[in-house]
Amino acid sequence: MTGKGRGAFITFEGGDGVGKSTQMALLAERLRNAGHEVVTTREPGGSPGAEAIRELLVTGKPDRWSPLTEALLMYAARADHLQKTVNPARARGAVVLCDRFADSSMAYQGYAGGLGEGPVAALERLVVGTDGPSLTLILDAPAATGLARTSARGGAHRFEAKGVDYHERVRRGFLKIAAAHPERCAVIDASRSVAAVAADVAAAMHARLGLKV
Ligand SMILES: Nc1ncnc2c1ncn2[C@@H]1O[C@H](COP(=O)(O)OP(=O)(O)O)[C@@H](O)[C@H]1O
Ligand SMILES: [Mg+2]
């Protein structure tokens, strides 16, 4: 299915409230209807060990961790998630859909948190290596749009409490990543309706991976 002869790995990226979870659920249903085995997962988390680390990351005060500690915790969780969940699923040919992955570490800790590109890129090489996504869907919307959607949802977690400037830096970070990796990333305007975004997600699946959904 991919160049490496294993199942596709598709990541959903973008700020809080852009619609990652919504779009991932819709795509999972379409892929299952088309006969694919689909594994849906999320970061931080996605394996029992990584979910335990997630609790440390999403609870507590916004400044609980430095950007470096945050990145190390994210990558500790990611190493476990890849080893226990993502790689085994791909090895048996499943399509893996993941709500956030390594690009979130670069956008949040690297760009918005001020840790910088170098340290995060080093962790990515070490932990992800050649196990990275075959396609990354970057859902792009103004930070205020996403935050308005999540505040309607209620129960803001630690990252949502960091303020609109931080979230605008996150947005610019994702667009920078997309520009640096055009072969892997598709940027989708997520400020539109759920149906319009889903149509672009399906189009990217076909154009980039040859998967009809
Ligand atoms: N295109 C859209 N337009 C309006 N509301 C949306 C759209 N996509 C998602 N939502 C709503 O916005 C909120 C956040 O969506 P969600 O998928 O949870 O975003 P994320 O996973 O990126 O944080 C949810 O209440 C969802 O129903
Ligand atoms: Mg979500």
Burial class (CB in 10 A: 0-12, 13-18, 19+), 90: buried
> Where exactly are the structural domains of the chain?
9-207
Q: Distance between CA 2 and CA 47 in Å, rounded?
A: 24
Nearest to 3 by CA among 127, 82, 90: 90
Q: Distance between CA 90 and CA 121 in Å, rounded?
A: 23
Q: Distance between CA 67 and CA 85 in Å, rounded?
A: 26
Ligand 1 atom at minimum distance from 190 CA: 1
58-101: pLDDT as tens digits: 999 988 999 999 999 999 999 999 999 999 999 999 999 999 99
Q: Is the CB of 191 under 6 A from ligand 1?
A: no
CATH of domain 9-207: 3.40.50.300
Q: Distance between CA 159 and CA 166 in Å, rounded?
A: 9
Q: In this structure, are residues 166 and 63 in contact, taking their beta carbons and an 8 Å threshold? A: no
140-153: pLDDT as tens digits: 999 999 988 988 76
Q: Is the CB of 87 under 6 A from ligand 1?
A: no
4-34: pLDDT as tens digits: 458 999 999 999 999 999 999 999 999 999 9
Question: Looking at residue 124, what DSSP letter applies?
Answer: H
Q: Is the CB of 19 under 6 A from ligand 1?
A: yes
